[in-house]
């Protein structure tokens, strides 16, 4: 056997790295990878600084600092009306990425089918394949990326081990309604199918709408591992801090892998977050904060030739460009960087082979001067 025989022969480098490098090389305005270009709250930085100086510099408890798990439990109960025991049903992770990867590795056996909704965030599929699972994609339909529940139901069968959902949705910015969640609940009812619910953008929802967490629905919650990210919520994507919650029997299995995967994550930051989370306004104000950015950006490009349907959640805006060019999204995204010095994400990388729509994804978690620069370029195309 070849010593470099790949376990993921079809996987190259993630789009966020390839486009990010191209953007840097060409000094482009970067609205590609999702991260804020502004500083987090000074108070949070102070708390982290304090925690380091107070000596929280050795291993944290394996499941996470207890005070942090307690405050996460309170937050979820307050927002979604479900109690997760801090002792046995909450684990602090190295970002949502680890929570997702650990969940898939803990539950997916070779031959198991895992249903994902496409476009899908790019970390799900390789993780499923790495553990021998079979990816069963269901495509969202049309220019509004709508869910076809009949189609979803038709792929659920005896081999289905897990379903992965993501609301608010990256990259489309769509959010699922109560009716979506109820339909999902109805289809899974009576089965042994697990739900991996990626809710990293739970606090970034616009226009008075509400995030529908799987935690709100009793039957869904009983089969769900829910993943969240402090990176998105507190403008600290580089810290790679997140958590996941699940009923005890599921969390026991998650923990078996987590303890050998990372054992525990940054101690001082957990201490700081447990203090910072005592003030719900820090996350409850996030929707308004990003809605203003969305509206600022959309207002600045309203005269452009891109077609715009305002995003409902996340810090991503899709722009449709069929009035501008026939190019495939990857080609157009690259040309935008090379010729116009503006970087975006082509969403075909999150889609199936048949995908042929003309959308690019722009991250508006940026200061107004950057949004102005991007708008100037978009208006000139
Ligand atoms: N899921 C989705 C849908 C995301 O957009 C991201 C952000 N990169 C993640 C998971 C990973 O989150 P984290 O940065 O906390 O690992
Ligand atoms: N979630 C971020 C995005 O969609 C990127 C995270 C990453 O680079 N892996 O842009």
The alpha carbon of 189 and the centre of ligand 2 are apart by a number of angstroms equal to: 32
Please state the atom number of ligand 2 nearest to the C-alpha of residue 200.
1
Token readout for 89 is 């049903």
Q: Where are the beta strands (DSSP E) in the chain?
A: 29-30, 90-93, 113-118, 134-139, 160-166, 194-198, 224-229, 242-245, 307-308, 316-320, 342-343, 345-346, 359-363
Q: Using CA atoms, how far apart are residues 344 and 318, in angstroms rounded to an integer?
A: 10
Cα 215 to Cα 12: distance, rounded to the nearest angstrom? 35
| Residue with CA nearest ligand 2 atom 7 | 16
> One digit per residue, pLDDT tens: the chain, 381 residues?
788 899 999 888 898 999 999 999 999 999 999 999 999 999 999 999 999 999 999 999 999 999 999 999 999 999 999 999 999 999 999 999 999 999 999 999 999 999 999 999 999 999 999 999 999 999 999 888 999 999 999 999 999 999 999 999 999 999 999 999 999 999 999 999 999 999 999 999 999 999 999 999 999 999 999 999 999 999 999 999 999 999 999 999 999 999 999 999 999 999 999 999 999 999 999 999 999 999 999 999 999 999 999 999 999 999 999 999 999 999 999 999 999 999 999 999 999 777 889 999 999 999 999 999 999 999 999
CB count within 10 Å of CB 340 equals 16
Q: How far is residue 142's CA from residue 347's CA, in Å, rounded to a whole number?
A: 14
Distance (Å) from CA 201 to ligand 1 centroid: 9
Q: Which ligand is nearest to the CA of 345?
A: 2
The alpha carbon of 200 and the centre of ligand 1 are apart by a number of angstroms equal to: 6
Q: Are 234 and 282 in contact (CB under 8 A)?
A: yes
Q: Which ligand is nearest to the CA of 30?
A: 2
Give the residue whose CA is nearest to atom 8 of ligand 2. Answer: 16
Q: What's the rounded Cα separation, in Å, for the pair 63 and 57?
A: 16
Among protein residues, the one whose CA lies closest to atom 1 of ligand 2: 34
Q: Name every protein residue with a CB atom under 6 angstroms from any ligand 1 atom.
A: 34, 95-97, 121, 166, 170, 198, 200, 229, 231, 237, 240, 242
Please state, in angstroms and rounded to a whole number, the distance separating the CA atoms of residues 213 and 246: 12
Token readout for 353 is 């082979």
Instruction: Say whether 374 sits in a helix, a strand or coil.
Output: helix
* 296 touches ligand 2 (CB under 6 Å): no
The span from the CA of 258 to the CA of 104, in Å, is 11
Instruction: Compute the distance between CA of residue 153 and CA of residue 38 in angstroms, rounded to an integer.
Output: 43
DSSP-derived letter for residue 141 is B
Q: Which of 327, 364, 367, 332 is nearest to 346 (CA)?
A: 332
Residue 170 CB–ligand 2 contact under 6 Å: yes
Pull the structure tokens for residue 188.
């899974």
| Atom number in ligand 2 closest to CA 34 | 10
């Amino acid at each position: 056997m070849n010593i470099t025989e790949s376990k993921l022969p079809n996987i190259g480098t993630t789009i966020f790295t390839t486009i990010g490098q191209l953007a840097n090389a060409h000094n482009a305005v970067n609205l590609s990878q999702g991260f804020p270009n502004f500083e987090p709250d000074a108070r949070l930085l102070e708390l982290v600084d304090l925690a380091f100086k107070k000596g929280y510099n050795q291993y944290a408890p394996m499941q996470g600092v207890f005070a942090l798990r307690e405050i996460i439990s309170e937050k979820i109960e307050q927002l979604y009306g479900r109690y997760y025991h801090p002792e046995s049903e909450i684990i602090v992770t190295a970002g949502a990425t680890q929570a997702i990867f650990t969940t898939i590795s803990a539950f997916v056996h070779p031959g198991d089918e895992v249903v994902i909704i496409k476009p899908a965030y790019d970390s799900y599929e390789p993780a499923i394949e790495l553990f021998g699972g079979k990816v069963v994609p269901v495509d969202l339909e049309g220019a509004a990326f709508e869910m076809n529940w009949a189609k979803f139901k038709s792929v659920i069968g005896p081999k289905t081990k897990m379903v992965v959902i993501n609301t608010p949705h990256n990259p489309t910015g769509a959010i699922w309604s109560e009716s979506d969640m109820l339909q999902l609940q109805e289809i899974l009812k009576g089965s042994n199918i697990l739900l991996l619910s990626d809710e990293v953008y739970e606090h970034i929802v616009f226009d008075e709408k509400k995030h529908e967490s799987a935690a709100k629905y009793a039957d869904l919650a009983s089969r769900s591992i829910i993943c969240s990210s402090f990176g998105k919520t507190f403008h600290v994507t580089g810290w790679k801090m997140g958590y996941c919650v699940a009923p005890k029997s599921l969390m026991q299995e998650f923990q078996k892998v987590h303890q050998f995967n990372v054992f525990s994550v940054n101690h001082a930051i957990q201490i700081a977050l447990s203090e910072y989370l005592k003030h719900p306004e820090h996350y409850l104000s996030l929707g308004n904060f990003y809605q203003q950015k969305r509206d600022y950006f959309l207002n600045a490009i309203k005269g452009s030739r891109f077609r715009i349907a305002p995003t409902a959640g996340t810090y991503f805006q899709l722009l449709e460009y069929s009035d501008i060019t026939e190019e495939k999204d990857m080609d157009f995204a690259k040309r935008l960087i090379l010729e116009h010095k503006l970087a975006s994400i082509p969403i075909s990388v999150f889609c199936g082979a048949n995908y042929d729509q003309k959308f690019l994804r722009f991250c508006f978690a940026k200061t107004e001067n950057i949004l102005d620069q991007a708008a100037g370029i978009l208006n000139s195309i």
